[in-house]
Structure 1
Amino acid sequence: MDNRIFFNPGDSIANINDYNEAVRKGQIFKKKKKEDELVIARGKGDEEYAIFYAKDALPSDHSSHPQGYEVTKRI
């Protein structure tokens, strides 16, 4: 499994500095929408963790040059 995923930064559900808080918020969102997998990721050089729906991932050859994120946890 590749740990690098591309997202449009505007698609994030939340941006949080504290990893544990990001996991808690992700679990809250997951309870609301059980069918959608969530990804907690961190952009290269970012100090924040972003929460995304996995279905919003973009292909690596996307023409708008989306920002790459390192996946830290899948929920």
Structure 2
Amino acid sequence: METRIFFNPGDSIANIHDYNEAVRKGQIFKREREADDLVIAKGPDDEEYAIFYAKDAQPEPKANKVKVYEVKKRV
């Protein structure tokens, strides 16, 4: 399910280098806060995974701060 999508890096809930840790933290965050749908996305630098609210996805870049992320998992 690899989908490229635009996110503002400042909207991320967390940035983590390990994919499995990102998934685990996303699941914990969602359960504890009864959060909306989350996505685990690989950053544009291919070094970090970021956790975002799915609703923060942008169909196209609106500002220079918006970057392309590759969605790896929906939580």
Q: Which amino acid aligns with 1:64?
A: A
Aligned residue for 1:64?
A: 63
Unaligned 5+ runs, structure 1: none
C-alpha distance in 1, partners of 2:35/2:28? 13
How many residue pairs match? The answer is 74
Q: Percent identity?
A: 69
Which has the higher mean CA deviation after the structures are superposed, 32-41 or 15-24? 32-41
Shift of 1:33: 3.5
C-alpha distance in 2, partners of 1:68/1:57? 10
CA RMSD for the aligned pairs? 1.7
Unaligned 5+ runs, structure 2: none
Structure 1: 4+ residue segments shifted above 6 A:
none
Aligned residue for 1:43?
A: 43
**TM superposition score normalised by structure 1:** 0.86
Shift of 1:5: 1.2
Q: Which amino acid aligns with 1:12?
A: S
Q: Which amino acid aligns with 2:62?
A: S
Q: Which amino acid aligns with 1:44?
A: P
- CA deviation map 1:10-44 (0-9, x unaligned): 00000000111001100011102435000000123
Q: How does 1:1-75 map to 2 (within 5 A)?
A: 3-34=3-34, 36-60=36-60, 62-65=61-64, 66-75=66-75
C-alpha distance in 1, partners of 2:35/2:26? 13
